[in-house]
Amino acid sequence: MDNGGEFTTLIIPGVTLSVGSSVKTQRFLLTLFLLIITSAFIISAGCIDPENQPPLPPAAANPEPIQERECPLFVFDDQEFAFELNRTTGASFSGEADIGECLVTASRIREGDFASWYAEWNRTADHFRKAGDESRAAGHVVSARDAYYRAATYYRTAEFFLHGDPADPRIVSTWEKSRDSFRDALSLDTVTYEIISIPYENTTLPGYFYAVDGSGKARPLLIVQTGFDGCQEELHPYAMDGIKRGYNVMTFEGPGQGEVIRIQHIPFRPDWEKVITPVVDYAVSRTDVDSDHIALWGISLGGYLAPRGAAYEHRISALIADGGTYDVGLTVLSIMKEVGGPAANLTEEELQEWLQSDPPGFNEAMRSAMAGDTGTRWLNENGMYVFDAGSPALFWAKWMDFSLEGRAEGIRCPTLVCAGAADHFDPGGLQAEALYDHLTCDRTLMVFPDEYGAGSHCQLGAFAQSFAAKFDWLDEKMGM
């Protein structure tokens, strides 16, 4: 290499860059990629300094202007713990958590300590599971039901950070305790429901069907699905609000989610239309479903999965992408271009091919970053678990297949794209805006400000505001 300012060509597997030094460039790529990933978690409590918030696209739903405010973390200084505590406490909206129980549990947890997080939430869950059993034995059905619902939430929260070791037996055992507590609560509830199995390839997908009543009358159906880290029992508040508005509601778990990854060991797939079509096939086979009025609501990564399915499955009458996701590689590449340097010339395909080579330097640097940041550790450990990837690089390579480029235009039904002004998974609303911009159907972009706490990812912790706005949109589109 000429040291007089001339550039030569460095070839990394699948990537050609004009650079001045191969060693410097490799370090630059590693450092930049890690910076991009970890920067999202610097704001991962769901709040950011209002003066430094990136601009968001205008909301078609015309929310109130974002007001500047202080945004303290919730109990924890660790930002990822604070966000998950807010998520758990938000279940109090539907009676599936209680604020005092959550705060006392959190007070016993050591900052950033995954073992402590598990131990204390499991302890709380065990306590209320036992309380439910005692109430049930004494004939106090309502108290038992309520305790079981809360125990289900606390077990689910306990299990959340365990995925660093896929062989950890607590993953399945704690998940089972959460599911069983939830089902015990359902069995004591007054809602009409059914535990269902949806035919899918050579197996079945688990689901719940909730009905407005036991009449069997055909009604509009709302299908709700979770995303990157959820279980369908967490969707119960969505189902109950849907029933209040006259919808029958169906939830399910697909590859990479809930029971399907924990018991069946089937990882995520990007071509989610192969999942949604069997789900809709099952739905229209039921006599209590109005097959001309089927809505699909995807939450978190479901904001990619549901649109991907709807782009090919045109029996969907209305779609909610909550929050909207267009292309996983989009945010990474946009920041690379802003930063400049040799990485600014990478295409998405080149970046993915480099990651598919499983570069040891990248994995070593990523694991070092994971050791120092809770959010980065959780993102990569859970990602490797649900994608069945043997390294951080292979996880990111697989995740980059999740793209609606050239597909979003295939969505025909009215579509609501949601974003939060302080969403740490989509800073600046870039993903939501990109999805909205590529839609050619009847479309609405709804950006939630953080003035009253609704600006976080999927409006977790602000169900009242979230449901009012999103269900009102859905009711209008579905003719409810």
Bridge partners of 195?
Answer: 208
Question: What is the CA angle 464-468-473, rounded to 5?
Answer: 155
pLDDT average, residue stretch 2-13: 30
Q: Are residues 414 and 473 in the same domain?
A: yes
Tell me, yes or no, whether 84 lies in a domain: no
- 298 within domain boundaries: yes
Residues paired with residue 321 on neighbouring β-strands, in sequence order:
298, 417
State whether 264 and 391 are in the same domain: no
Q: What is the CATH number of the domain that holds 183?
A: 1.20.1440.110
Instruction: Name the percent of the chain lying above pLDDT 70.
Output: 82
- In a shared domain, residues 143 and 290: no
Is the pTM here over 0.95, yes or no? Answer: no
pLDDT category at 187 given cuts 50, 70, 90 is very high
If you average pLDDT over every residue of the chain, what do you get?
Answer: 87
Residue 4's pLDDT is 36
**In this structure, are 323 and 431 located in the same domain?**
yes
Q: Which residues contact 91 (CB under 8 A, 6 or more apart)?
A: 97, 153, 234, 237
Average pLDDT over residues 332-357: 75
The pLDDT tens digits of the residues spanning 203-261 come to: 999 999 999 999 999 999 999 999 999 999 999 999 999 999 999 999 999 999 999 99
Do the domain assignments include residue 210?
yes
Question: Is there a single domain that holds both residue 352 and residue 413?
Answer: no
Q: Which of 190, 225, 244 is the last residue of a domain?
A: 190
Over its C-alpha atoms, the chain yields an Rg (Å, rounded) of: 23
**DSSP letters spanning 166-217:** TT-HHHHHHHHHHHHHHHHHHHTSSSEEEEEEEEETTEEEEEEEEESSSS--
**Boundary (domain end) residue, out of 190, 217, 246:** 190
What is d(CA 451, CA 136) in angstroms, rounded to the nearest whole number? 42
- Which domain range does residue 390 map to? 8-42+329-399
Which of 46-50, 77-81, 209-213, 372-376 has the lowest average pLDDT?
A: 46-50
CATH number at residue 319: 3.40.50.1820
Residues 208 and 310 in one domain: yes
How many domains, the chain?
Answer: 3
Whether residues 242 and 319 share a domain: the answer is yes
The β-bridge relationship of strands 443-448 and 192-200 is unpaired
Going by C-alpha positions, the residue among 96, 338, 137 that lies closest to residue 234 is 96
On the question of pLDDT at 330 being above 90, the answer is no
Closest CA to 280 of 292, 270, 266: 292
Query: Domain check: are 50 and 198 in the same one?
Result: yes
Indicate if 110 and 173 belong to the same structural domain.
Answer: yes
Tokens representing 395 are 């996880």
- Is residue 275 within 8 A of residue 460, CB to CB? The reply is no
Tell me: pLDDT of 150 over 70. yes
Q: What is the mean pLDDT of residues 410-425?
A: 95
Q: Are residues 334 and 313 in the same domain?
A: no
Residue 54 has pLDDT above 50, yes or no: no
For residues 355 and 429, membership in a common domain is answered with: no
Residue 83 within a domain:
no
